[in-house]
Amino acid sequence: MNKQLVPDKTFALKDDIPLSVQPCVQNRDYPHAWWLDRHQTKQEEKQNRSESIQLVFIGDSITQAWEDKGKEVWHEQYEPLGPLNLGFNGDCTEHVIWRIENGALDDLAPKVIVLMIGTNNAGHRKESPQHTFLGIQSIIELIRRKCPSANILLLAIFPRGKAVNDPLRQLTEETNQHIEQLADNDKVHWLNLNHLFLTSAGKLTPEVAADYLHINEKQYAVWAEAMAPTINRLMKSHR
């Protein structure tokens, strides 16, 4: 393993700074080997075909699952665009920040970067919308620095919890209201697809997400179809 990926054992939390913006590996004291290995694998994948990568997805397990539940749709919809999947199971905003600061987007010039992150900030530690906002804001700033010509498609955090009054649903919805403000309709574009996964009463059913969080295979086709016009538009408007 590349030595630069070994976390700093002297890392200390800064009490006056939200966790959401403090870059770190997952499980900072005893890093998950799979997580560091995946980062290294993605580095190698990127280096092997950096010039062909036009589309990048950044996120957590919902994004990583394009490689599993969504693989057929991924192949049909995105392979012609030279896609790169940078979704990592369990990631919060600070983990994405660490990955970008440690080379995830280096030497890339994608036309579009799709970003959805934040559900684990809510689910793992019930982080305030304001702090999650700061984490996502930091990610966008890093993306703009690393890939200045890319159009960023910022997705609303997908719905979680069975009903509209579920505490984590309410928390993520409030977070969405905050992060929508990050869109400038120039380089950062907002897209909320959450209604596609809910009933008219706002319920998330097992037929869509068995655990009331992770959408199933069928929903990846729904997601891709709904997102296609926006991705196509942003691809064409890349400058």
pLDDT (tens digit per residue) in 157-173: 999 999 999 999 999 99
Any domain includes 191:
yes
Given the structure tokens 């590996």, which residue do they identify? 25
State CA 58 to chain mean position distance: 4
SS (H, E, C) the chain: CCHHHCCCCCCCCCCCCCHHHCCCCCCCCCCCHHHHHHHHHHHHHHHHCHHHCCEEEEECHHHHHHHCCCHHHHHHHHHHHCEEEEECCCCCHHHHHHHHHCCCCCCCCCCEEEEECCHHHHHHHCCCHHHHHHHHHHHHHHHHHHCCCCEEEEECCCCCCCCCCCHHHHHHHHHHHHHHHHCCCCCEEEECCHHHHCCCCCCCCCCCCCCCCCCCHHHHHHHHHHHHHHHHHHHHHCC
pTM over 0.85: yes
Query: Which domain, by its residues, includes 58?
Result: 17-237
CATH code of the domain in which 106 resides: 3.40.50.1110
Query: How many residues are present in the chain?
Result: 239
Q: What percent of the chain has pLDDT over 90?
A: 88
Tell me which residue of 201, 196, 198 sits closest to 222, measured CA to CA: 196
Hey, what are 196's tokens? 């596609």
One-letter amino acid identity for 101?
E
- Number of structural domains (the chain) is 1
Q: What is the mean pLDDT of residues 122-142?
A: 98
Cα separation, 163 vs 237, in Å, equals: 38
Cα separations (Å) of 8 from 11, 21, 85? 6, 17, 26
Q: What is the dihedral of CA 101, 99, 234, 182, to 10 degrees?
A: -70
Any domain includes 8:
no
Which tens digits make up the pLDDT trace of 67-107? 999 999 999 999 999 999 999 999 999 999 999 999 999 99
Contact 119, 172 (CB under 8 A): yes
Any domain includes 12:
no
Tell me which residue of 127, 128, 52, 114 sits closest to 85, measured CA to CA: 114
Hey, what are 186's tokens? 């120039």
Any domain includes 98:
yes
Which tens digits make up the pLDDT trace of 2-38? 333 333 332 334 568 999 999 999 987 677 899 999 9
Any domain includes 5:
no
Split at pLDDT 50, 70, 90, the class of 50 is confident
Any domain includes 9:
no
For residue 181, give every residue at least 6 positions away whose Cβ sits within 8 Å of its Cβ, in sequence order, or none. Answer: 133
Hey, what are 3's tokens? 């030595």
Any domain includes 11:
no
